A and B are shown apart, each in its own frame.
Chain A
Amino acid sequence: MHSRTSFSVLIFILLIWEILVNLLHIPKFILPAPSLIIYTCFSQAPLLLENTLVTAVEILLGLMISLAISIPLAIVMFSFPSVDAAITPFLVISQAIPIFALAPLLVVWFGYGLLSKIIMATIVIFFPLTVSLHSGFKQVDPDYEVLFDLLDASFWKKMRFLYWPAALPSFFAGLKMAVAVATIGAVLGEWVGAQKGLGYLMIQMNARLRTDMLFAALVWLSAMGMGMWLLVGKLEKHFLFWLNDTKN
């Protein structure tokens, strides 16, 4: 029902846009009509796909590295409050520095290839992942801990049976947010300096006044972001079967 409403709103906006562009004779390098953008999306599909794959790889690798850092970090922060207190200010600082300011530096340090973009995506993703997982661990009902304390359960037993599953809803909320913002990191990196990717393509097309192509790249980028978001949603439903069913 909601998706049908969203689709209707989108169609309405596109129709108004199409009519206005034609009525006002707006040049296509300023604002192309939706019909032209849709045509470009399909006619330039091979080029767009090639660049989308590069951006997707950057994001996925960034996501994997973030997971490899975030999960152990959240566990350590949870089990050692002193580490939590020591690391949290740095985590906050890492997010307070605008990624725009870091992008040129990372390109200088790690080059025009994939690496600088992967690091950029990692910086954007790892914060929401770490924070959401850590707060998920902390939100466990203390009465459950009593149950395991009576059994003299080790930390890892508690982690396996209690903390990890209890933190999953919060973790997936963070993961959804992370994949949604991950494109920002990767595309920013590509804007500053890259040889391929949707961000690189946007810069190239902007310089050639191919605004239709720029919009087409945006459409592909949005589709990719939406695809990743939906994939995480599917994983969430699979792993949180007990939560989904309770809601139903």
Chain B
Amino acid sequence: MEKFKKHRIRIIALILCVLLTILCVTPMLFSFFTSVRSELEIMTGGFSFLPDKLTFENYKELFGSDYSASYPIMKWFGNSLFVALVQTVLVVLISSTSAYAYARLDFPGKNVLFWFLMATMTFPAVINIIPLYKICQTLGIIDTVWALILPNIAGVFNIFLIRQFMAGIPKELDEAAMIDGANKFQIYYRLILPLCLPVLIVVAMFAFTGAWNDYLWPSIVMNSVDKLTITPGMQRIKSSFNTMHGHAIAGGFISVIPTFIVYLFAQKHFMKGMQMQAGVKG
């Protein structure tokens, strides 16, 4: 009886999960099936969930020369990849060195500085956007990848996450390494950094997807079409929606490939990252 009761609730939960899955996934499937219908079929065929004839021509044509003149999707893809990768590396480097100092070194002003940084997290970013543009303009980096990368790598939250993690590593390890003659930089690089790998992976993944998905800022600072990243680029593709449904949706799916791959391989870390941010142990 007890066992049946336990299973009963699991069966109800399973049914609800299946229903929720249908709700969540159907729009995605419908759009995917639309993207593998020919434009002619979409225009004349009316509503249909499944394609009459499966074709990948929309995907192929997106990369063809006709389309790429006004929507250089390959170029955008490359730009995004460059920005996201450079940003990820810099974020990991800059926030981990900083976190190392706040977690494991002593220096005058440390606590004041650290808590000041933490307090700025509550400052609404909307106030910064306009002056930030002016600063990038003054530095002469408008319409370059640096306007996308530089303002996004000094994030305070990452320092907080990494510092928390570093604080859990025994201090004796540093002392032992000091006795062996290692300097502070060697301790950071050889000892602490490898031990922090779990939190660094989390930081890196969120940096990557954050950079890849950034929309408002790139659409402000990038003027040239061929220098755009893919997320604001897709907004341009959307403008072709009236005539090219299939192409537009295909573009949407293509633009998600890198983050999807990262997610497939590192799904556990995403979950762990969300939990770390919320301060719960999973």
Q: Please determine whether chains A and B interact with each other in the same assembly.
A: no
